[in-house]
Structure 1
């Protein structure tokens, strides 16, 4: 199962670039991740970890996730922005009501996850998303 964070990033990329090929979307995602890594002082290993769908093992990887989540509007004030997540899902899934509702449910289930440190908040949010998805038997390949 892919992680919640990758799901959200892919949604954002698809929503913003529907006419691009999968390879082009992956390239855009990696460019965004590398830009955030540079901004956050993260390493290429942190980006590789993200690209491999792994949970962040260190501060750099957590901060990359926070940067991207804030930039695309799924995290605000160190917590999930449910409506921002729904907006991204609506674009990404071309208004597919079931998939948008699934995104809303996942985001809503994790809305209480927060931390005074934005990077730690992002890590908690995405750990929650992975856990909730797993508990519900969701595979992001099916979304």
Structure 2
């Protein structure tokens, strides 16, 4: 058994994150000793490492909860897990497309200024200012 600080170090997760996962029910509440300190098992460490790995893959908490539920049924089909990961792949691909578009916009913006000049002649600032003015002049969509 280990205390929350030891669990935090072993899993590479902040103590506040562990408490949050307990609060939202992603991790079961730990046993408490007579002194009131939380006491964690190696099984809870494994679960926390699993959660951390899922978060590193940018899997949301609701989907992590589903994956944890799937792991409680080892004889069930993994088809739903495959679908969950396929959906995550689609979200990542959509974000990559969005980031690529953002990269192109930033490259275009960067090409507006090619050297050191006074701020009033900075193409980047001028472009950002004119874009802001154009947006302000558009009729409201409200």
Query: Is TM-score (shorter-chain normalized) higher than 0.5?
Result: no
When Rg is computed on C-alpha atoms for both structures, the one with the higher figure is: 2
Q: TM-score, normalised by structure 2?
A: 0.23
* TM-score normalised by L of structure 1: 0.23
Instruction: Considering Cα pairs closer than 8 Å and 6+ residues apart, tell me whether 1 or 2 has the greater RCO.
Output: 1
